[in-house]
Structures are given as structure tokens and as C-alpha cells.
Amino acid sequence: MAETMKISDLEDRLPHEAADAIRSRGISELTPPQELSVEHGLLEGKNLVISAPTASGKTLIAELAMLRSVIADRRKALYIAPMRALVSEKYSEFKESYPQLKVAMSIGDVDSLDTWLEGYDIILVSTEKLDSLIRHGVGWLDSVGCLVFDEIHMLDDPKRGPTLEILAARMKRTCTHAQIVALSATIGNSKELADWLGAELVESEYRPVVLEKGIEFEGEVTYNTDRSEKLESDSKMAEMRITEDTLEKGKQLLLFYSTKRNAEAGADKLSRAVGRRLTVGEKATLRVISEQVLGVLGKPTLQCEKLSKAILNGVAFHHSGLVNEQRHIVEEAFRKGEIKAICSTTTLGLGVNLPAHTVVVRDTTRYGEMEGSEKLGVNEVVQLFGRAGRPKYDKSGRALLIAKHRAEVRELYDRYIDAELQPVTSKLSMLPVLRTHVLAFIATKFLTTEESILDFLSGTLYGYQYSNMYEVKENLRDILGEFVAWGFIEKGNSSVYRATRIGMRVSELYIDPLSAKWLIDVLPSANDDLSVLFMICNTIEMRPHVKTVERAIEMFPQYQNMLQHASSNYESDEAIFYDPLRAFSSATMLLDWISEKTEPEITNEYNTTPGALFTKITNADWLLYSCSELAKLLRVSPIRLIEMRLRTRYGIRRELLDLIRLEQVGRVRARLMYLNGIKGVSDLRKPGAQETVERLFGKEIAKKIMDQLDRN
């Protein structure tokens, strides 16, 4: 047997500072995929696509390439991932691992050039942020020596994939001397991806923890190793049987459900079984975590109470309906072993490193608004299975599906365990995607003719996979015609397009051009609170909308005439499910928010979640900012929009705008101050004001509020 390659074997090719930093983390030997990567030219600057299972060491491969670029070549390294949570997680890891290097992360404001990034060695960005930086004319790309594309298989994702594809194609063309390292889960066409990127493929089946895949039916698991296992539980519910058996082994588990509601119901059911097995010390720890989750919002919602109650018994649910702080609390408690089981929607399986001994994919069918009922793909299930088995704690992990009847055991086995992996295919031909990127090409002067845009698109994965570019060519002509008609671009001599001032700003603001056209048309006539909110809610960026409520149906006729400005594309675009009543319902929800209704009242009336509500508020904040920027170009007063942005951010009526300027003062405290005679900041200077604030909030908070008067 060949001897394993060691870090010390790389010292003639890897800077000694890099080797020392890696060894200081307790890493002395390379895993098989890491060794294969070195043999394929990783440390000589070769482009590589790494296709290997979760936890096989792909991240260190990227780190080796980045360290070589930064230390040996004195060039920047750029790490790109399609999910903010993953970028944030890797930033924390890199920052801790390489304190001697300047490591930066940028995932936020997409209307900023972030010039400060120029001073950093390793820069971690989301795909959207990098796209935005390019639109704003970032100047340091020619100093990049290594490009890492993490989760490159996300090219297949209809939402995130097209931007990732455009970026990969553009960076290939822009950073011609940079090494490309693309990291991928195991997929059906890794070689095709490698060929498209001009890279060598490094493929490995290595996994540090043995993964057993099986189907559970009536308390027995049939594995891919031709063996079966009887679970240590006689419960009548399959998830309960698997949970009890996992806890009996002293392990944790993740359970994936098709909907938020199913995940919450699953957590409620499992908490009874898990709670019985907890020690007094574990219950005390969970009580603290439960209170943290309950106190995240000013006033807990029903969902907060559900989550808090489940955590008391060692179980949590996890989905996009939670606010970020709650998700972080749950994830950290699970990593520490304090929460024993998480019931989640499938989004947790994408990117974030949260492994468990046992993974259960309970639902293999889901319902989408556009797609209807559909089966999970093989690749997605394999990705979820990859969370099973923790390298530091387990020698093996198990990933299970649940059969509802005996015949389904073979059906599930054939569909997901014994099946060929699916190829990744481009989603670039979708109209909203092309619209956004074509405008960016012209606005940044990257591509300025129909021919050059088509030539670029032929170099994307779409062009590589589909030699017939007829559909894209037709769509491109339609888009260019629309942009000229809308005043976003102008056609000059030699068929060269240039962006107008407003077209340039639309591209920089990172909003869909179709949304921008609607906003520009409606802006001059949006003259009350609800019309402004309907204006921003009737955009692509605010989807998915809440379900239609009775109140919206009653009020809609007064605002229906605004739709005479809506482009016919809203109805004809196949990628969009368009219902103006639902957009209007989202607007009435935000109206309730700025009318100071509480989170529980709003989430209950609109059948939504705190996380979904705050996502809408965040998106509305950006759209209102975009509207105020467009208003300046249109010579429309932006004052109402600026006011509305502040009111939406804090959820307040207009009379609280002055008080909200104070630190420590949010919507609840501002209203209490107003009701007690402090109606503006100047009132804090009146006799007795300090005593009033102390009575309302205590001496410590009152001091922080009053000290601001001296600073100002």
C-alpha cells in the first residue's frame, strides 16, 4: 500500500508559512482527494474541479491553492459561494486558521464598491455580492491569483445557478491568469463541468466516515450493504422509532421535511420522546437556550413559543421562517450536543456544515407554486445524506428514507440509493436572469453589441451544453428591444449599445429591469402610504407574496388603476406566477407593520412566519432605497420614500421618526416615550424627562439614552 502523502512532503512546493499554519491545526497528512489534487497540479496553478463527498477535505484543497497564491505569488485569493450562510461560516474558519493573513468577507450592501477590500489577501463573497462589485467597477480583479468556486453543483439551482454561471464565465474571461478551483458534491457530469471550466477533474469516493444508506419500514432498516437492522424502538411512528434508536446509541440526528409546517409538527411529536431521556443538567442548559430563543423578538410569536417549548425537550425545528438569531442559536446548540434532534426543511442541507450521526429524509415529495407536486432529485437527496456522520465523533453515519408500505422499500432504494446521479444542467435561458445580466454587460461596457453578448453566452455552460443558441438569440433580441424602448440603453453607430444614466443606475441597484420599469412608471403617482407599499411589493424581488387576505380584496379597487403601468411581461413570463392581489396583500401586511401592529398579530393574520416577515421588511428596505435613488434621476421628490424606508425598517408611524434616531430606542420604546409626553428628541431636555425615561426603562437604559443628548 502506498504511503499517505504528508504536509511535510509539500514543503518544496508550498510556502513554509502555509505548511506551518496547516500543521498548527493538527493536520499532518492529506486525504485521498487532497493527495490527488496535488498530483494533478494544485500547487502548480492548474485549474481543477474537485468532485468528492461531504467531509472528504475539499475545503483544505481550496485553502492550499489560496495560500500558494497569497504567500508565494503575492496575489489575492477570492472565495465565492452561492449562499451567504456558507460564506459567513468559511470566513470564521479562515480567520481563525490564518491569523497572519488579512481575511475579509463581503456579503451585504449590493450598492457599494467596498473599496476597503483592496487591502485584503483572502476575500470571501457571495455570488450576488461579487456580481454587484463588478457592476460598480471593482478595480482589483486583475490582482486575483486564485478563484475558488464552492458548491459549483449549484449551477443546477434555478434561483442561484444562473448568476453563478455568468460569474464563472465572466471571471474566466476577466482573470485570465488566475487559477480556478471548483468544489463540487458528487454529480452525474463532473467531467463536463471540468471541461467547460478548462480544468482537470479530480474525482474521489473517499469519505472519512463510512456512510450506510437505508430504507426504514416497520422498525427494520434495509441497507445498501445488503444487511438489515432492527431498531431499538417499538413506537408506531417511523420518525419516533429512528429517533429513539439514535438516542439509544448516544447520537444526534437531523430529520428533513418537505414543509415548514411538517418540520414544526415533527419537532412537537419527537420532543415527547427526547425529553424523557434528558438529564437534570441537560434540562437546565436547554432552559437557558429556550429562553434565548423566546426573547429574540420584542414580543414572542406563536412560532417562537413552539420553538422554545420544543427546545426545552431537546428538539428544535429549523427553516426560513425563523429569524437569523434563532437559527444561529439552534445551530450552535446542536453543534455542542445540547439539542439532540433538529427537524428541518431541506434548505439546511445546502452548504452549512451541521453534521449528525443519523440523517432522515422523511419526505421525498414536495409542492411548489409553479411546479405542483414533484419528487426530490437524486442529487438533492445525496446532498442531504451527506450530513450523516461526524468525522470527529463517528466511525459511521447512517442516512435513511422511510417507506410507507413494503413495496415502497424497493422503489425508494432504486430511485435514490441505487440510482445514477443526475447531471447538472444550465438554467441560464430564463428571461429574468438574462434581462438582469444583459443590462449589466452593457452598463459596465463589458459587452456592448448583440454579437459580443451572444459570443459570451456561447461560452457559458448553457452554450457548452446546447449548441443551438436560437432560443437565447431570440430572447436577447427581445430584451435589447425592451431596454431601448424603456430608455435603459441607446443604440449607436456600428450597432454598439450604451447604457443611459438611468439604465446604469438600475444595473448598480441590482434590481430586475422589469421591476425597475414598473417602479419608474408608478413613482410619480404613488402619493400615499399604501400606494408606495404596493409599488414596491408588485416587484419580482418581493416574491413569494403572502396569500390574499379579505382586507386586501376590499381595498384593492382603489389602487387597481396603478396596474395600467404594469408591463405585459408580468403575465407572459413563464418563470413568474403573477397575482396582483397577492402583491397587494403583501403591501397591506407592511402597512400593518408601519401602523405598529405586533409581530404576532401580523404573522397570525397573514398566515406567515417571523422570518418571512423580516425578509419582506429587509427586501422592502432595499426597494425603497432603490426607489429614492431612481426618484432623484426622475426629478421626483424622494422625501416620502426616505421617510417610508425608516418607518418600514423600524415598524413605526410617522410621529415616531424623530425618536427612532436615538440608540437603544426601537418601535416599542419610542411609542412608550411618545405616550408619556416625550414626542421628540428635544423633549428629553425638558424638566422631568430623565425621571420619565428612568421610570419606563430603568436607570441603565435611561443613562444611555440621555448621554446621546450631550454627544449631539
pLDDT in tens, 187-241: 899 999 999 999 999 999 999 999 999 999 999 999 977 789 999 999 999 999 9
Calpha distance 167→164 (Å, rounded): 5
Average pLDDT of the chain, as a whole number: 92
Q: Which domains does the chain have, with CATH numbers?
A: 7-203 (3.40.50.300), 210-416 (3.40.50.300), 431-501 (1.10.10.10), 511-651 (1.10.3380.20), 656-711 (1.10.150.20)
Backbone angle region of 391, left / alpha / beta, with phi > 0 → left and psi within -120 to 50 → alpha: alpha
Containing 491, the helix (H) or strand (E) segment is strand 489-491
Q: 574 pLDDT band (50/70/90 cuts)? A: very low
Model confidence over 636-652: pLDDT tens digits? 999 999 999 999 999 99
Model confidence over 267-297: pLDDT tens digits? 999 998 899 999 999 999 999 999 999 999 8
pLDDT at 346: 83
- Cell numbers standing for residue 561: 388603476
Q: 2 pLDDT band (50/70/90 cuts)? A: low
pLDDT at 46: 97
- Cell numbers standing for residue 685: 431636555
Cα 45 to its chain centre, rounded Å, is 30
pLDDT at 565: 66
**Could you tell me how many residues make up the chain?**
712
pLDDT at 224: 76
Burial (CB count <10 Å: 0-12, 13-18, 19+), residue 459: middle
Partners of residue 50 on adjacent β-strands: 183, 202
Q: 710 pLDDT band (50/70/90 cuts)? A: confident
pLDDT at 113: 84
pLDDT at 373: 74
- Cell numbers standing for residue 254: 437531523
- The DSSP symbol for 637 reads -
Q: Calculate helix-pair angle for 610-634, 513-522, nearest 10 degrees.
A: 60
Model confidence over 309-362: pLDDT tens digits? 999 999 999 998 899 899 999 999 999 999 999 999 987 666 567 889 999 999
Q: Calculate helix-pair angle for 610-634, 580-594, nearest 10 degrees.
A: 100
Identify the three-state secondary structure at position 679. Answer: coil
Q: 93 pLDDT band (50/70/90 cuts)? A: very high
Model confidence over 457-490: pLDDT tens digits? 999 999 999 878 888 889 899 999 999 999 999 9
Q: Are 376 and 269 in contact (CB under 8 A)?
A: no
What is the chain's Cα-based Rg?
Answer: 27
pLDDT at 226: 76
